[in-house]
Amino acid sequence: MKKEIIQYFIIYLLLTSFLYSNDKYRFGIGYNHFFNYSVNSTDITNKSDISNCYGINIGLQKKLNQQYIFDINTNINYLKSQGCHDIVEYDEYFRILSNSAKSHTNEYHIPIDFDISSKIVNLLSYGVGLSLCGTKRYSTYEFYLNDIKTDTKNFYEDSYILGIGLNSFIRFSYILKKSKNIDLFQELRYRYINKLLSYNHGHDLSDQKYIFSQLIITIGVEL
């Protein structure tokens, strides 16, 4: 997980460095609730759905004019699930070697939102825009015979998915009286994502769905 976070920070800093001109940065913690997630209809989550998670939030605001602000927002999320798969495997003597498999899936989920926002009043703002979401999914399959772990070597599968969609948010900022440079903020954001591209060691994943909608509640500080 550390490697993925380091790689992401490098990409994010390169993306935002050219925008920096004494504008505001945001850092916070977000709670994510998935209203629906297409992966929950597959076997890798039939023992534990992906429905909630916590993540790190990073954002940047750049003022375009007196009315509009260019807003970049992202989350770094880690999700996990478990599944049970019905399989039958035979050897050359037609003995059953395994009749089930159990999977453990780890998912690194990094959406980036590009928004145009405006203030309703001084401390309350809203925005809408485009979202991109990169996902790395890694699954481990263990093989069982009548609920007893077999000697069959574990099978590993990883895939990379890029999704595209829309988002909207409303954000309330609270000015700290003792600090002129640090504000607190609370944000409510909705995001919808659909698959754009996917890759799994050359395998064709075009027929696999990747759709989700989620609600994100974030609290943090603005600098």
Which architecture characterizes domain 2-222 according to CATH?
Beta Barrel (2.40)
Beta bridge partners of 72: 60, 114
pLDDT tops 50 at residue 37:
yes
Q: What is the pTM of this model?
A: 0.83
| pLDDT score, position 94 | 81
pLDDT tops 70 at residue 202:
no
| pLDDT score, position 18 | 45
Distance between CA atoms of residues 157 and 117, nearest Å:
40
Higher-confidence residue of 7 and 91: namely 91
pLDDT tops 70 at residue 2:
no
Query: Helix or strand or coil: residue 135?
Result: strand
CA distance to 175, 188, 212, per residue, from 35 (Å): 32, 15, 7
Tens-place pLDDT, residues 49-108: 999 999 999 999 888 888 899 999 998 999 999 999 988 888 888 888 888 999 999 999
Mean residue pLDDT of the chain comes to 87
CA distance to 84, 97, 137, 209, per residue, from 153 (Å): 17, 12, 20, 29
Count CB neighbours of 222 within 10 A.
20
pLDDT tops 90 at residue 135:
yes
Per-range mean pLDDT, top range of 19-23, 39-43, 110-114:
110-114
What 153-159 contacts at long range (C-beta under 8 Å, 24+ apart), as own/partner pairs, is: 155/101, 157/200, 158/200, 158/201, 159/198, 159/199, 159/200, 159/205
Tens-place pLDDT, residues 178-190: 666 788 999 999 9
